[in-house]
Structure 1
Amino acid sequence: MALGEENGGIGATMLVSPAGGNFNAGYAPAPYAYPAPVFYGGNMGGGGNGMGFGGDWSGLITLFLLFGLFGGGFGGGFGGGFGGFGNYDFPWLLTGQQGINNNVSDGFRTAQLSDNVTSVRDGISSLSTQLCGCCGDMQMSMANGFNSVNTNLNAAQNALTQQAYSNQLAALERSYAAQTAQAQGFNGLQSQLAQCCCDNRLGTESLRSTVISENCADRYEAAQNARDIIDSQTRGTQAILDKLCALELDGVKGQLAQAQRENTALQNAVNMATMQASQVQQTAQIRDGQLAATSALVQELRQCPIPAQPVFGNSPIFQCPVNLGQNSCGCGCNGFNG
């Protein structure tokens, strides 16, 4: 039998076993009108598995259950255990059928216990009759309690879920903020690294430009120095060449002057020879002219008278040369020399 919504519950199910039966074969079976929970094994009937009075211990178990419910169960809340069994006040009820059989057999072997149990059975029988009416109310109360507990649990679960969602959302927001800050930090660091790289490249290029400029300046200065050295050597060589040329020119000039002097001497000699020839020719011409004039004068003088008486003591003016043994003196003599 199950207690469900049709019996006033709200979804909670309580399984019960059929009533009746006995626990030991020595007791007479007696039916009972109250339900037996299934956690006792469901063997309350059948004449041998019960532990009540007259073959069934259902009344005693129900009493223990009531004691557990009202004494240590719902009175202390679910936190204290369900019906007292959460604290294991009656461990022989939870150790299985064999444990129940052993414990009950050991506890009720004596006759004194049998008499006491018989009297208790009668009381429990009347009590069970009274409990039949209130069992439904108890089950309804239990169902309502379970419903309230379920409602509270659902509310707590919803609150926990909402809190978990809130915590998760807050964690996500914190994670996003941390990631954003970290990304911004990485971006800033990346920007700094990029700027540092740019600065390093700029410094390297500036240094390289400076080195190149200095190298160019050094090369230009070296080229200028080399050019100055070459120019100095060129000027020195040119001066030497000029000196050699001047010396050679002086020699050439001397040779030219010597040649000019020799040429002048030769020219003078030629001129002298020409002059001498001219003078000889002129002399010859003059002589010829003089001879002609003399001849003409002699011819004219031959016509002049010559004194016959010579004057002694005076040199003769004219001498008559002996030409081939003949005296050629006299006016008009062919051999007159004057």
Structure 2
Amino acid sequence: MALGEENGGSGIGATMLVSPTGGNFNAGYPMAYPMPVYSFGGQNNGGGGMGFGGDWGSLITLFLLFGLFGGMGNGNGFGGGFGGNYDFPWLLTGQQGINNNVSDGFRTAQLSDTVTSVRDGISNLSTQLCGCCGDMQMSLANGFNGVNSSIAAAQSALAQQNYSNQIASLERSYAAQTAQAAGFNGIQSQLAQCCCDNRLGTESLRATVLQENCADRYEAANNTRDIIESQTRSTQAILDKLCSLELDNARRENEQLRTELIFARGQASQTAQTADIRAGQLAATNALVQELRQCPIPAQPVYGSQPIFTCPNNNSGCGCGCNGFNG
């Protein structure tokens, strides 16, 4: 006998191998035939009862069973071995066949009662087995359900713990971020104050430097002005002195030039007079020479005891007495 689930339903189905009690085992018939067993509650094939024979399929199976074993008498089925070829083979054999078939019918009824008893026992066994299997499955299902419930509870606890851990971690992170933000805000405030102080100090220093630069520039401008004025006065004094010296030199030069001009004029007048005198003397000399050329001159001069030229006195000069010329 084999048990197994069928059709995927909630009921438990089984298949049994049932051996006949009076069959001809030497006529080539099988030693056993399959008999379906259904679960308690009739959820398969119509659900006509508990176990075998509760619906039309069970009746058809019984008729097929009796046809296969041939009346359990002579081993040839209904009608002396023609059950395998005709639907009603006993009609072909006459009265003897009818009698045989009637006898076979009674034997078949007895066999049916025996099979029914066996069937009921097997059905009860199947029901018990199904109930046992159902209980086992229920126990397994309950066990699996308990395991699943435990796993679900554990998972729920783990999820709750993870959620709690995440919430705690988020709270710690938020607290840390809040503290860090507060620290950053404090640092930013300090940096801003420090920047303001530095800027104020820088501006104060710049104002001081600007004031000092203005004072230095004013002082330097005054000093430069004094230096320029002093240099201007000194330069003007030098220029005045130079101008005075130049005027004096110009005056002296003018006087010298005037003196030189007067001397030059006197010299020129004297030169002109001298030239006039020399010109007169030259003319007189030339005239005298011309006259002397006209006088007879011996080839040889004769000197006597008388001088040729006489000079009456030292102031008048000497002459030969020609034309009253006084040499």
TM-score in terms of structure 1 length:
0.35
